[in-house]
Structures are given as structure tokens and as C-alpha cells.
Amino acid sequence: SFRGFEFGGTFLQEKGRFARDDLDAYGYHLMASYTFQAACKPRLAVEYSYASGDSNPNDGDHETFQGAFGARCKMYGRMNLFHWRNLKDLEANLQIKPFKWLHVKGELHKFQLAERKDAWYLNQKLYRDSTGCSGDDVGKEFDIVITCNLFPQNTFTTGFGHFWPDEFAEKTASHKQANWFFFQWEYTFSTKLL
């Protein structure tokens, strides 16, 4: 970080064999943020996640990135509609901390397929158009997560998400919008060693 600016990146590559195919796939994540010198410490960030897809499932090359470490929603939406596979995700997010005990984060995502002929891996058997005619725009998602540490040893977290389908989702899955909500209470036990 430098004077409020922060930059980060991750790159992973997969090579070898995948069944009878040659495996050559990759994924990366980029982030740039700026934290304003204000009372609530607003932090504005732009992030981009990419995972390669398979342009031709019959050419003997497997190019779909498999994701890493079981990660699901750390970088690409909170609603668990996407895997880090055949994905392009452009994200803008804003975090504020109005009090020491309160943290709020809002995220806006635009999801696309990296390869039109590969699948949306929410359901790879159903949500696939091998012709590529359904386009690559899957949808947009807005998430907000609020974390509260008002009481010692207690952390309360709640969140809301909304998904708007775009052309690919409408043609292969559904035109319906989706909502998501969660509430979590975490209690930390303290033990004293004698």
C-alpha cells in the first residue's frame, strides 16, 4: 500500500493431463483500492477475476480452469452462483467503518463467460450452449454485508444479495431475478489456562 492506495494480484496456472486431454488452464485476480482519509474510513476498490474456459471440448485440450483451494465466494459474488471456472467478473466495491464495532461492504459484479461454448458452472450440464449463440453475458449481482462487533465475544453478520440475469442466463437458465439473505451469529469462547 502507498498513501492510501493498495494493489494486489494472484495468478494460477494448471498444466498436465485431464483424463485423455492435455490440461492448459489459468486464472487470475487483480485488485486496486484507495482508502480515503475520512472518519468512516471509506475504501473504494475495483477488482477483476478471470478463469479460462474451454473453447472446443473436442480438440484434445482441456482449458477450463478448475479453481483453487475450494474457494467459492471470496472474489466473485456472495450468492454462490459462480465458480472460478470459465468466468470474467468485473467488481466494484465500497467498504465503510462508521464505528469501531460496525463494518459495511457493498459489492457490484458484472459476470461474463470467458468462452461462450463452455458452461456456466452453476450447472454445467444444463447451462451450456455449445454453439455459442447465447452470448457471454450471464448477469449482474449486488451484495451488501454488515458485520457488527458491539458486544464482546459476539459477532453478528447479515447480508443481502440480488441477481439480474443477462442474455446467457435468460436463454439457458431463467429470466427470473434472484434474492439472497443470511444472518450469522458467532460466539467466541474464551478459556483461561491455569
With H, G, I as helix, E, B as strand and everything else as coil, classify residue 172: helix
Cell of 188: 467466541
In contact, 26 and 62? CB cutoff 8 Å: no
- What are the pLDDT digits (tens) for 4-35? 899 999 999 999 998 888 999 999 999 999 99
Confidence label for 193 from pLDDT (cuts 50, 70 and 90): low
Q: How far apart are CA 13 and CA 36, in angstroms?
A: 35
Confidence label for 132 from pLDDT (cuts 50, 70 and 90): very high
Lowest-confidence region among 70-74, 121-125, 148-152, 163-167: 70-74
CA distances from 29 to 39, 68, 103 (A): 30, 12, 24
Q: Write down the number of H helices and E strands in the chain.
A: 1, 9
**Segment 61-78 mean pLDDT:** 78
Backbone φ, ψ for residue 167 (5° rounding)? -50, -50
pLDDT score of 76: 85
pLDDT score of 190: 79
Share of residues in the chain with pLDDT > 90 (%): 76
Backbone φ, ψ for residue 128 (5° rounding)? -150, 140
Q: Is it the case that residue 71 has pLDDT exceeding 80?
A: no
Confidence label for 192 from pLDDT (cuts 50, 70 and 90): low
The mean pLDDT value of the chain amounts to 92
Q: How far apart are CA 32 and CA 30, in angstroms?
A: 7
Confidence label for 72 from pLDDT (cuts 50, 70 and 90): low
